[in-house]
Chains A and B, each alone.
Chain A
Amino acid sequence: MCGIIGYVSNGERDEADGDDSDADGGSAAGATGATGGGRALPVLVDGLRNLEYRGYDSAGIALVGDDDVDVFKEQGVIDDLDLPESDPAWTGVGHTRWSTHGEPTDANAHPHVDCTGDVAVVHNGIIENYDALRDVLDEHEFTSETDTEVVPHLLEAELAARRETASDGGRIDDGTQFQPGAGTDVDLVSAVENVVDRLEGSYAIAVTVAGREEAVVARQDSPLVLGHGDGANFVASDVTAFVEHTRDVTYLEDGDVARVTADGIDIRNGGAQVERDVERIEWEAEAAEKGGYEHYMLKEIYEQPGALRQTLSGRVDEVAGDVDLDLDLPADYLEGVEEIQVVACGTSYHAGLYAGTLLEDLADVRVTVEVASEYDFGGGRNPWKTLVVAVTQSGETADTLSAMRKAAKAGARTLAVTNTVGSTAAREARDALYIRAGPEIGVAASKTFAAQVATLSMLTVYVGRRRGSLSSERASDLLENLRGLPGAVQQLLDEADRVADVAREYVDEDAYFFVGRQLGSAVAREGALKLKEIAYVHAEGFAAGELKHGTLALVTEDTPVLTVLTDGARPDETLNNVKEVESRGAPVIGLSSYEPASNYLDVEIPVPELGLLEPLVANVGLQLFAYHVANELGRSIDKPRNLAKSVTVE
């Protein structure tokens, strides 16, 4: 999965633009550097930097000129790309890659071009029938191993066929007038429409052709959003690519093919013109900068108190013992619900595990939590009495979307819990509940996990109160805990220096085991995942009670054990497991609010009292531990190897 960006602008054309015959040669050269340069290059490069969290093993841009398209692409990050100081282009596309087909090499990087070099394409997604298409294109020359490369060649063939027809006095171009170049006599949009009709799989593509001040884009199962600027328009996989230029966006839908010019955007679907809403992005763009911190992830860990206040603001009413979530789930529907299925991946799955335990305990409803890639609706369940909750930070995770669609297809009601307004999950689910954590740039999730659990806790109260299965007293207890959550998290953060010391002490171990019970086991899994993701060390999280059924064989004095000993995590029973590993010499690091444990812990990090949310607070200690171990080991924390944020391939 990758990030793509396109930019089309009318810009001011400087007379000295690349014109060697200028009288005062010296100042013309200077002018070219400053005002004669087109905006495409800087805008695309900046945009790609903001998209890099989607993929960063190679990058490239294509700048559209009158007679050709200049392509610069290389393996490596965007900042290492060998680019000119300036370029006169006002139109271009860019790409940052997370490899799926073909290794990260210069040749496999996007943009990909056709045999003439006049067509440049960037793509996010997987074209499943690319092999068959390559066979059909056997007269074309391929330079890469990618699935994407079939697209420019298909387009080349399509354009060539149309040019033949046009010069036979056939079709008339209905586009804008500009200087002659390759293919101006053909309708690029319908050419692209024909090409994408032949593609199977997922794609968000952006196409540019030499001599044409436009980009044609198409979307199927991969996110693509348009930005409406002043004298310029944008398209990208994600709003962060261009949000500093415009906050007016349009999310494309599957099957959309759009023509983006400097003056406007036309969208078609199924051959017919369609209108799509323009929305305004409200969240603050500058949240996507490191602000004095060494890594986005550390900044996001420290942002948690503020983010959580945002998540809760205006939604919690302890006095009434209820929440206001702006949701439309009717009480009689909820009363009749037999099961809630939570589907998610990775960290979101762990948030789901936390929620599942809370829902069963407080809302008295049967809950199953499933890994989205494994999900199928079946087992004799009644779809009209099953609520399927999809948890996805980005709202674009392909596995989770797929699961949600299966559920909807079977007739179940869906609810998306997400951080991204207007995302595919939010739009496709029957209802959407936002976690309001603000953008998260670090690839490994930190603040969004906390915000997801806080939001799902509020959902628990919502469901429980409406089902009549949760007393206002117990509801108020949880809501009081929620209100105390930001302050409790801040307390853990104030212990960061100590956790950093602990991390330094235990940085060089064979493996790390994270154990807990109930809510603590969800957090144990999450703690282990964080350490794996960013430190690249072997870590495993599981239910504490399972230790003696196998994993204990791996426990030695070189395998620290991290554990959660708090409310909601059966600390008394977990303490027995602590003793088990202690007797095998393993150092035990405990996130604890349970006094009797003190004597058995090599390291005790206190967790403030907060009822069923204590394990969530304990998790902050595990985030800091993972961060500092990774930092000691010199890892690339914001961009872990082999990973990308928001995995939009299945």
Chain B
Amino acid sequence: MKAVVLAAGEGRRLKPLTNRRPKPMLPVAGKPLLEYVLDAIVDAGIDEVVFVVGYARDRIQTYFEDGDDWGVDLSYVVQEKQLGTAHAVAQAEAVVDGPFVVLNGDRMLEPSCITGVCDRLEADGGPVMAVTRSSDPGEYGVVELDDDRVVDIVEKPREAASDLINAGVYGFETDVFDAIRATDVDETGERQITDTLSTFVVDDHVRPVRYSGLWVDVSHLWDVTRVTGRVLDRVGGTHHGVVEPGARVAEQTYVGEGTRVDTNATVRPGCSLGENVSVGANAVLSNAVVLADAFIADGAVVRDAVVAENAFVGPNATIVGGESDVVVGGDLYTDVTLGAVVGDNASVGGGTTLRAGTVLGDDVDVEPGCTVSGTLPSGTTVRRG
């Protein structure tokens, strides 16, 4: 049984974090989302895996290579243009020769979801779809069940007919590829797998697998810190790197290799620091996720924030933290906990204040002493007026 993992998408809602890396490579407590998915696949007993990659695939390939570190036979299929989830699944046609499981590369879940789908697929044939309860079904594909059959799937309905959603784990037989070819493109010109499934639903053919374990999606920028905290709660902290005397790094944090936390710095529980990160003397990190190579200078205060790769947060800069309203892709989200997102290679000058909800694109340069709020596109420079 092969597992096909869809990891080609751009993850637009998570810009600027996805400007240079695909969403599945967003790190949570030191591991990319995709690695959690792979771990679950391995624990479910599957050792042949295909990654469908596309956007920024070098990040995935450099990290996972041939899968030897995870004991799997890993191969790659490239989706050159992102034309929908069905199109992504179709890329795997040449490399699967029997029933197979499909998963999203950016949703954390437990192995039991995968084994459930595999077992059902082997017993009753496909297609099989995992469903789970959600507290916010309107954000996903809502599923209506009638006993043991899926009767309807509706993407992001305004009024959800049930609390059950499509968990994003499918079991297919090879006949799905013909069905994909027969699926109509949607209004954006893409082919979606849920539309393909709908063609099977009509014939009462889609079999649900009810799943009630851990199911975590990082859909928004403010989910990164929240999910990191939850994972650290569950698995505990890991410390590599160097912590200078006087610095206090809570146990329930992740500290990557080569990272250095200077004297009297404070890193509170729930924080995660990638590889080669520098945290200066007296800096304070609270509910913060810092990616590789970033530099937090002396005295900086970083709260409820994500600092991306190679970014610079200057001496005594303050990311205030707390709740605010944030606009993402034209939608307004109110009262979300997001101090700031500092994009890759961006630079926040010393003494600067970032108000809650600030999102700085990559390569943004904020000169010292400014006060910033709102969303700034990549490459912007901010000067004191």
A309 proximity list for chain B (CB < 8 A): 257-258, 275-276, 292-293
Q: Is the CB of A487 within 8 A of B310?
A: yes
B292 proximity list for chain A (CB < 8 A): 305, 309, 486-487
The answer, yes or no, to whether B203 is at the interface (CB within 8 Å) is: no
The answer, yes or no, to whether B62 is at the interface (CB within 8 Å) is: yes
Q: Interface 1/0s, chain B 61-98, versus A by CB < 8 A?
A: 11011101100001110000000000000000000000
Interface centre among B51, B62, B66 (most CB of A within 10 A): B62
Contact status of A488 and B57, CB under 8 A, knowing A292-B76, A313-B258 = no
Majority DSSP secondary structure for residues of A touching B: helix
Chain B residues 269 to 323 lying within 8 A of chain A, measured CB to CB, are: 275-276, 278, 292-295, 309-310
Q: How far is the CB of B32 from chain A (nearest CB, A)?
A: 13
Q: Is the CB of A292 within 8 A of B275?
A: no
Of the residues A286, A312, A319, contact of B258 by C-beta under 8 Å:
A312
Pair count A-B, CB < 8 A: 86
The answer, yes or no, to whether B53 is at the interface (CB within 8 Å) is: yes
Q: Is the CB of B278 within 8 A of A483?
A: yes
Q: Is the CB of A313 within 8 A of B69?
A: no
Interface size on B, residues (CB 8 A): 32
A318 proximity list for chain B (CB < 8 A): 278
Chain B residues 161 to 202 lying within 8 A of chain A, measured CB to CB, are: none
Q: Is the CB of A303 within 8 A of B278?
A: no
The CA of A608 and the CA of B293, in the complex, are separated in Å by: 14
B266 proximity list for chain A (CB < 8 A): none
The answer, yes or no, to whether A302 is at the interface (CB within 8 Å) is: yes
The answer, yes or no, to whether B106 is at the interface (CB within 8 Å) is: no
Of the residues A292, A483, A608, contact of B276 by C-beta under 8 Å:
A483
Q: Is the CB of A286 within 8 A of B69?
A: yes
The answer, yes or no, to whether A279 is at the interface (CB within 8 Å) is: no
What interface size band does chain A fall in? 20 to 34
The CA of A241 and the CA of B277, in the complex, are separated in Å by: 36
Q: Interface 1/0s, chain B 48-60, versus A by CB < 8 A?
A: 0001010001101
The CA of A309 and the CA of B244, in the complex, are separated in Å by: 20
Q: Is the CB of A286 within 8 A of B66?
A: yes
The answer, yes or no, to whether A496 is at the interface (CB within 8 Å) is: yes
Q: Is the CB of A496 within 8 A of B309?
A: no
Q: Is the CB of A303 within 8 A of B293?
A: no
Q: Is the CB of B345 within 8 A of A491?
A: yes
Q: Is the CB of B20 within 8 A of A494?
A: yes
Chain A: which residue is nearest B312 at the CB level? A484
Q: Is the CB of A291 within 8 A of B64?
A: yes
A496 proximity list for chain B (CB < 8 A): 58
Q: Is the CB of A487 within 8 A of B309?
A: yes
The CA of A309 and the CA of B277, in the complex, are separated in Å by: 10
The answer, yes or no, to whether A490 is at the interface (CB within 8 Å) is: yes
Interface centre among B57, B66, B257, B294 (most CB of A within 10 A): B66
Contact status of A319 and B310, CB under 8 A, knowing A287-B65, A289-B66, A487-B345 = no
Q: Is the CB of A289 within 8 A of B58?
A: no
Q: Is the CB of B310 within 8 A of A484?
A: yes
The CA of A299 and the CA of B66, in the complex, are separated in Å by: 12
The answer, yes or no, to whether A427 is at the interface (CB within 8 Å) is: no
Of the residues A293, A484, A494, contact of B295 by C-beta under 8 Å:
A484
B69 proximity list for chain A (CB < 8 A): 284, 286
Q: Is the CB of B62 within 8 A of A313?
A: no
Q: A313-B257, A487-B309 are in contact. List 10 more A-B contacts (CB 8 A).
A: A284-B69, A286-B69, A309-B258, A313-B275, A318-B278, A483-B278, A484-B295, A486-B293, A487-B276, A496-B58
Would you list the 9 A-B pairs with minimal beta carbon distance, nearest first?
A487-B310, A286-B68, A291-B65, A487-B293, A292-B76, A292-B61, A313-B258, A289-B66, A302-B62
Please report B residues at the A interface, Cβ cutoff 8 Å: 20, 51, 53, 57-58, 60-62, 64-66, 68-69, 74-76, 242, 244, 257-258, 262, 275-276, 278, 292-295, 309-310, 344-345
Please report A residues at the B interface, Cβ cutoff 8 Å: 284-287, 289-293, 299, 302-303, 305-306, 309, 312-314, 318-319, 483-484, 486-488, 490-491, 493-494, 496, 608
